[in-house]
Amino acid sequence: MRVGIGGFRHETNSFSNVVTTIDRFQDLNYEFGQELIDHNTGGVRTPLGGFIDEAAVLGIELAPTFYANATPSGHITPETLKILTSNLVDNMWWQHTRSPLDAIALTLHGAGVSDLSDDIEGYLLEALRERFGNAIPIGVTLDLHANVTKKMVALSDVLMGVKCYPHVDEYENARALLHHLYDHVVNNVPVYQSHVPLPWLLAPGAGVTLSGPAHDVQQLTIRLEAENPELLQATFFHGFPYADISQACVTVVTVAKTQEAADAVASEIAQYAWGRREAFMPVCLSPAEAVDKALEFAKGPIVINESSDNPGGGAPGDGTHLLRELLERNLPDTAFGGFWDPAVVQQAIEAGVGSKITCNLGAKADNLHGEPILLKDAYVKTISDGTYVTKSPMGAGKFTTLGPSVLLQAGNVKIGVSTSRRQTLDCNAFEILGVDYRDMHILGLKSSQHFKAWWTDRAEIVSCDPPGIHCSNLSVFEFKNANTSYFPLQDAQWNI
């Protein structure tokens, strides 16, 4: 069996003022052919790593094509979507002409928006179907925050999302997808999909699956997969409300050997989740409330995450609400990691290690994330190239970078400032600048839930959620396209 693999991933935040152009992909992941294999071989816990390892077990020949990924940001330009699509479709077709493909396996996100199409995954699948026709099976792994559209379901054969938030199961999910495609092609196992959208916008800040209602729904999907021999997979997609499209919502997607089984399970999960919707209410502390709560712990380290300015969800990463509070408190052994401000990094590098700089830090990307902080005589402690190998279970082993970065010392607060917008998943944002998190009492960082995959066993955690474009309070957003009659904006009704 020969399977073409590839994909492109973007989580689009419609409220970001950063236009997503092709160079944003080229700056992060933009790979062709054998590079897909080389960068994900050897136990790298990425979706492509999952395809590679499962193919080795099943004796599948992989035909690598094109993969691109960019940090979440605003709408993708039409030209960029056309380039990404033609890169993937043309390379997939080239592989097919070399030796016919039996299936296509893609890793996509599911919440990509372009001014050319508000459903970039549906757009890609349409382009593949135009080139390949309907006979070839197409399987897709999606992020749990996918806004799954009717077109995505109609144009794919096996569509499945990760079940965990933090997304620690992307590798296993990709392996499962390839296995289902193998069973379908080699063992003639039929596949039928069911798709149930719910009138519900769910903020990521309320969706962690380590505990609480999202955990309960996740466990139901896992139990049903184990108990029902007809069922191949069931995913409860949280959706991504900051992608302001008409089809943004929570969905359930199932794949089964019969349409009846797929429909029955999707209905059961949707009804259970809808019944629990009131429990998915996020706790939104201010930075001051979060610091007060952090000080109630007998010992540290205590991580305070700024959920509303999560670069992993398209926010700028230069919001000053939490950092300002930490500077004003000036508590001993405080550090902030992964703060984005290229201009300040440049200024500090030019000044050099051991010098002092005065600068306006942060809040430059827009006027939604606080005011710039005037730092006087901040000491330039460290300069780093920003490169590291991911430690978090999310993408462990993957080489990546925060770009040139500096550590500034302002009073008791150490501030790690970087040139690349990245969500802080593990201790690398601190370690690359010489800060051992175990020596710190309070650690500030920008993430909503993903950081918990690594930090939960190593620190106490308190979340704050001041104003920002990744804020959990959805009532503050001016949606243009999303359905504002949905829960929790309105008391929506739903019956299957």
Nearer to Zn ion, 143 or 268 (CB): 143
Q: Distance between CA 394 and CA 58 in Å, rounded?
A: 24
The site map against Zn ion for 87-126 (x = CB under 5 A) is: ----------------------------------------
Q: How far is the CB of 246 from Zn ion (least distance, A)?
A: 20
SS3 152: helix
Q: How far is the CB of 365 from Zn ion (least distance, A)?
A: 21
**Which amino acid is it at 311?**
P
Q: How far apart are the first and last CA of the chain?
A: 39
- Choose between 170 and 341: whose C-beta lies nearer to Zn ion: 170
Which lies closer to Zn ion via its Cβ, residue 143 or residue 225? 143
Tokens of 240: 């991504």
**Count of residues for the chain?**
496
Distances (CA, A) of 47 to 41, 65, 163, 277, 462: 11, 14, 14, 30, 30
Question: CB 11 → Zn ion: shortest distance, Å?
Answer: 6
Task: Find the shortest distance in angstroms from Cβ 314 to Zn ion.
Answer: 11
Q: Indicate the residue among 143 and 325 with the shorter CB distance to Zn ion.
A: 143
Q: Name, in order, each residue with C-beta under 8 angstroms of 490's C-beta and a sequence gap of 6 or more.
A: 484
Stretch that binds Zn ion, among 66-74, 94-102, 141-149, 288-296 (CB under 5 A): 141-149
Q: What DSSP letter does each residue of 222-274 carry, written as one string?
A: HHHHHH-TTEEEEEEE---TTS--TT-SEEEEEEESSHHHHHHHHHHHHHHHH
The torsion angles phi and psi of 135, rounded to 5 degrees, stand at: -75, -35
Interface with Zn ion: number of residues (CB under 5 A) = 2
**Closest CB 170 distance from Zn ion, rounded Å:** 9
Q: Which of 479, 496, 495 is nearest to 201 (CA)?
A: 479
| Nearer to Zn ion among residue 31 and residue 143 (C-beta) | 143
Shortest gap between Cβ of 108 and Zn ion (angstroms)?
12
The pattern of x and - marking residues 145 through 174 that bind Zn ion according to CB under 5 A reads: x-----------------------------
Q: Which of these ranges, 142-150, 213-221, 379-387, 439-447, lies near Zn ion under the rule CB under 5 A?
A: 142-150
The strand ranges marked E within 441-494 are 442-445, 460-464
Task: Output 145 or 421, the one with its CB closest to Zn ion.
Answer: 145
Does 143 sit near Zn ion (CB under 5 A)? yes
Q: How far is the CB of 166 from Zn ion (least distance, A)?
A: 9
167 versus 369: smaller Cβ distance to Zn ion: 167
Which of these ranges, 40-48, 140-148, 351-359, 485-493, lies near Zn ion under the rule CB under 5 A?
140-148
β pairing state of 192-198 and 158-161: unpaired
- Cβ-based nearer residue to Zn ion, 24 or 145: 145
Shortest Cβ distance from residue 447 to Zn ion (Å)? Answer: 12
List the one residue out of 88, 123, 81 whose CA is nearest residue 106: 88
Taking the least distance from each CB to Zn ion, the nearer of 4 and 213 is 213
Q: Measured from the CB of residue 145, what is the shortest distance to Zn ion in angstroms?
A: 4
**Which residue has the CB atom at the shortest distance from Zn ion?**
145
Distance separating alpha carbons of residues 430 and 421, to the nearest angstrom: 15
Per CB under 5 A, which region of 144-152, 191-199, 260-268, 384-392 contacts Zn ion? 144-152
The token pair that represents 11 in the structure block: 């989580």
For 191, the token pair is: 């596949």
Token pair recorded at residue 338: 């992964």
Q: How far apart are CA 494 and CA 491, in angstroms?
A: 10
Give the binding site for Zn ion (CB under 5 A): 143, 145
